[in-house]
Structure 1
Amino acid sequence: MSFLNAIKNNMEMNNTKAYGTVAAEAPLNQLTIVRRKPTPHDVEIEILFCGVCHSDLIIARSEWGPSMYPCVPGHEIVGKVKSVGGHVSKFKVGDLVGVGCLVDSCRECEYCNEGLEQYCVPGNTFTYNSQDKYLPGNPTFGGYSESIVVDENYVLRIPENMNLAATAPLLCAGISTYSPLRHWNVGPGKKVGIVGIGGLGHMGIKIAKAMGAQVVAFTTSESKFAEAKRLGADEVVLSKDPEQMAAYYGKLHFILDAVSAEHDVNAYLALLRVDGTMAMVGAPAQPLPISSFSVIMGRKSFAGTSIGGIAETQEMLDFCGKHNITADIEMIDIQNINDAYERLLKGEVKYRFVIDMESLKS
């Protein structure tokens, strides 16, 4: 701790160009923020691309409770190592790297020791909108910026064969779907449902298919049938059609629910086999009623899951590199971020916006 205090007291700083907001009701605009210069175990990253997650909009607008301002969103970061601290051993200048939702944790609790930093007991440090442990009283700032400085233990290596822009959303959408599919042993011989074909759901289809599962996609729109098949779904079900839903009663081993709007989860729990599990990765604003009989009859489980630890996120990137999996994206300039947020609210993107951070230089 004395070393950390010494860093806090003698921190050298850099001004950094970024895009963020100063209030919940204010649009995002160009800001100048302060980043620490690399300490002995830090990696300084030039940000090349940053994905736009729906939670970026939610936190920028304080919709999950009061956010810290100024707020610079962005936790789907891909870039190139610009410099490293003197004790860094995992990375060198020029390496292609990524940063996801976490930039630190306590490193001492039982979950950190198990590689589950996302469940750190004292509380982990998120890439943005967390207390910056190096700069007390200041928030962490995310990837809508020209660079970021992160401890090497929370930096990820990007496989060389991957498209960098399309890889950025894997740092949140990819790991958020990979982790539950991996945890509940999705693979050959398993019939898996993916509910919702959006930013999360489209990644769930791709990853579950690559794991060898038989993938059934559920959508409220017939217009998405061909799209679901293109993404890798073996079968597609119109969830508004009772007859189509009834054909899958008791048939699925696992369901990944990627819907963040209000919907009837009991209708999907009925599709699980005995001992089947339905896991939420979507985050509806309102509570979802669950009948006790939906889980009692069949010893079924209704679960939730949040991103993944650092080691598992690296495993996900390596898996996606091996199977040539990236997100379907629409590239935007940072100056169009406010319009992108409005389009995001309307569902007008297939399937993730990614910011070309070169635009921040203009």
Structure 2
Amino acid sequence: MTTTVSAYAAPAAKAPLERTTIPRRPVGEHDVLIEIKYAGICHSDIHQARDGWGEGIFPMVPGHEIAGIVTETGPGVTKFAVGDRVGVGCMVDSCRECDNCKAGLEQYCSGGNVGTYNALDKTGEPTYGGYSTHIVVDEAFTLRIPDGLSLDVAAPLLCAGITLYSPLAHWKAGPGKKVAIVGLGGLGHMGVKIAHALGAEVTVLSQSLRKKDDGLRLGADHYYATSDEATFEQLAGTFDLVVSTVSAPLPLDTYLGLLRTDGALVNVGAPEEPVSLNLFSVIAGRKTLAGSGIGGIRETQEMLDFCAEHGLGAEIEVIGADRINEAYERVLSSDVRYRFVIDAATI
């Protein structure tokens, strides 16, 4: 039977989120029912709830950083059992048949993966995310949270963690590599932790030095203010990899100037506005301007295991659900260190 659960939803674009109820599908052959314990608040939630990335599906229940406990399994489930600690990230399905899906790159599914929220599933029903008490997910898109990670600090890893781990791993951040993380926010702080754990020399590039002590504590070797023009002169030609986590348009030509020959500037922050580029900025030095989107299921599990091995959880502020709207405004004003996490027991 379809069940009804409590949730927080945006009833319309730009409207405040409010408590409501939503349907959850019956537990199918390969599904698990998860009692959500914690759900992270990602900047993506705000973009989508406010139609920043295009027209959304409303009412919208955001949330794709989900950590909880399995409370029921379908008869065909083999990966999980009742009581297991699990997570759900940014997608809950894909075509599973294209070359990307077969390669474990479900995030780049040729037909488009099914988002955890603000999407339509294969039956045409809207998906609802983690700002709720329970969710039903196919075991193939469910992750195991290692015992070494508490559920509250693990929740943001399902988006922020994998969003940074994937490009750092793909572009081989590690010993002997100089890596810059642009922005020390929900994404950036995990980038610093992961790049440091991978063995790279890590630099934070932030608008000001306000968070310098935090950046160094989290694993950065260096910290510079981008508001100081001298920074770009001093660091010209320095980095093998620059990962931008900011969701505002950057002067790409200026940042490309920070790269060594064959370096890469990878964007994981997604501004709502278009950006411009002088192609000579990539031609000179055979540089790469790239993007990266989350990670596949296999890589996300690899990231969780890596974070558990190295003791890397998110830096969080746990809130009650009645503070979600306040948290949105604080995220927009950069007033969080570094991820809000909703205690689902308050929903």
Does the alignment reach a TM-score above 0.5?
yes
| CA positional deviation for 1:17 | 1.1
Percent identical pairs in the alignment equals 54
Partner of 1:73: 62
Q: How does 1:1-362 map to 2 (within 5 A)?
A: 12-134=1-123, 136=124, 138-360=125-347
Corresponding letter in the other structure for 1:283: A
List per-residue Cα deviations over 1:90-134 (Å, max 9, x = no partner): 000000000000100000011000000011111111100111224
SS of equivalent to 2:187: helix
Runs of 4 or more above 2 Å deviation = 240-245
In structure 1, what is the Cα distance between the partners aligned to 2:90 and 2:126?
Answer: 14
Whether the 8 Å CA contact 1:238–1:245 is kept in 2: the answer is no
What is the CA–CA distance in structure 2 between the aligned matches of 1:23 and 1:219, rounded to whole Å? 34
For the 8 Å contact 2:250–2:275, the answer to whether it is kept is yes
CA-CA distance at 1:262 after TM superposition = 2.6
CA 1:46–1:219 in structure 2 vs 1: closer, same or farther (change >3 Å)? same
Q: Specify the SS of the correspondent of 1:254.
A: strand
Residue deviations 1:275-305 (CA, integer Å, cap 9, x gap) = 1111001111222221112111100000001
Describe the SS at the equivalent of 1:243. helix
Following the alignment from structure 1 to structure 2, what is the Cα–Cα distance between the partners of residues 192 and 21? 38
Q: Which amino acid aligns with 1:210?
A: A
CA contact (8 A) 1:128 1:142 kept: yes
- Offset from partner CA, 1:43-96 (integer Å, 9 cap, x none): 000000000011111111222111111111100000000000001000000000
Q: Aligned partner of 1:234: which letter?
A: D
Q: Which has the larger Rg?
A: 1
In the alignment, the residues of structure 2 paired with residue 183 and residue 127 of structure 1 have an alpha-carbon distance, to the nearest angstrom, of 24
TM (norm. structure 1) is 0.94
- Answer with 84-93 or 12-21: which moved more: 12-21
Contact 1:237 1:245 in 2 (8 A): no
Paired residues, what number? 347
Cα distance, 1:242 vs. partner? 2.8
- 8 Å Cα contact 2:208/2:224 also seen in 1: no
TM-score after normalising by structure 2: 0.98
Structure 1 residue matching 2:211: 3-state secondary structure? helix
Matched position secondary structure for 1:223: coil
Q: Check conservation: 2:52, 2:272, Cα contact below 8 A.
A: no
Q: What is the distance in 1 between the residues matched to 2:20 and 2:225?
A: 45
SS for the counterpart of 2:27 is coil
Long gaps (5+) in structure 1: 1-11
CA distance in 1, matches of 2:180, 2:31: 41
Shift of 1:234: 0.4
Aligned residues: CA RMSD:
1.0
Amino acid corresponding to residue 278 of structure 1 in structure 2: L
Structure 2 unaligned segments of length 5 or more: list them: none
**Paired letter, 1:342:** E
Rounded Cα–Cα distance in structure 2 between residues aligned with 1:51 and 1:336: 13
